[in-house]
Amino acid sequence: MELNPFHLSLPGQFRVAVVLSTYNQPLWLTKCLWGYVEQSFDDFEILIADDGSGPETKGVVRDFQEQSGLSIRHIWQPDEGFRKCRILNKAIMETDADYLIFSDGDCIPRMDFVGNHVRHARPGYFLSGGYLKLNENVSGLITRKDVVNQRPFSARWLMKHGMSFSHKYMKLVRNPAFTGFMNRVTTTRTTWNGHNVSGWKSDLLKVNGYNESMNYGGLDRELGERLVNAGLKGQQIRYYAICVHLDHARPYKTRDALNKNMARRLSVKSDKLTWTPDGILKDGGKKQGKSS
């Protein structure tokens, strides 16, 4: 695979931001941000895209702003139901970074997470990373020291604390030859996933960002499908850029929303849509390519 000429030892070639979505999960957000403190590549800012969390989340963000050394901005909107797409679009427009990495505030990144997104970034592509779901017990017991020592990314440690053996632990292997081979041969589709994906801000603007009419279920993939229609290609880095996903309930998940979102995605694919009128620019904004 052709690598980007920008090397990790040459920060500043392009500006990088990490966009983290969150909603009323202050403990999980804390564990997530511990992971960003430990990143081997540290030339990035973080935008917390907050869909209406209460004061406890604000306190978590403030503490990290004051004590962690991370460059963090808190992008907040009132709680008026599930409006993840709206707050993500707002975060996109709040940063002047050239390259955006998207994840969730309930995902802890491995220490090479940001660096691997930066290492493999190249024009004309978006990058699709991998994640490993943790159970409720392991999610709860992870400590600051565990993250410092990268224990949540050890298959042995996970199984010692109650996780069952899984072939998915292969994602945690850090051997360059193995991970490179697995990224080439994986049959997993390259999609735009909210928990671990990255792309150029200019490409997101070309398709008008996220579709704000969409609720939970496929909203991220719909954006990726419009990017593909606009000529972008997806690059698989699921064995390079890894995060672990903390367990939580999803009360906002409904069958009606899933069906509506699937219908929208089918339309995007069949009609080769690139632009959403319910994105960053609303009706009346300049459209590029086919529109829904």
Q: Comparing 177 with 292, which gets the higher pLDDT? A: 177
Per-residue pLDDT band for 8 (boundaries 50, 70, 90) equals: very low
Residues 187-200: what's their mean pLDDT?
Answer: 94
Q: In the structure encoding, which two tokens stand for residue 207, read together? A: 């398709």
Question: What is the predicted pLDDT for the residue at 12?
Answer: 53
Q: Contact, 75 vs 89, CB < 8 A?
A: no
Element (H, E) at 87: helix 84-94
Residues 134-140: what's their mean pLDDT?
Answer: 96
CA 274, chain centre distance (Å): 21
Q: How many CB atoms lie within 10 A of CB 43?
A: 17
Architecture of the domain defined by 16-271: Alpha-Beta Complex (3.90)
Q: Which is nearest to 113 in space by CA: 46, 166, 159, 189?
A: 46
CA 261, chain centre distance (Å): 19
**232-272 residue pLDDT tens:** 999 999 999 999 999 977 666 688 878 888 888 999 999 99
Give the side-chain half-sphere CA count within 13 A for 281: 13
Amino acid identity at 252: Y
**Summary mean pLDDT of the chain:** 91
Q: Contact, 23 vs 50, CB < 8 A?
A: yes
Residues 24-45: what's their mean pLDDT?
Answer: 97
**66-93 residue pLDDT tens:** 999 999 999 999 999 999 999 999 999 9
Question: What is the predicted pLDDT for the residue at 11?
Answer: 46
Q: Contact, 110 vs 149, CB < 8 A?
A: no
Q: How many CB atoms lie within 10 A of CB 222?
A: 24
**269-287 residue pLDDT tens:** 999 999 999 999 986 555 5
Burial class (CB in 10 A: 0-12, 13-18, 19+), 207: buried
Domain ranges in the chain are 16-271
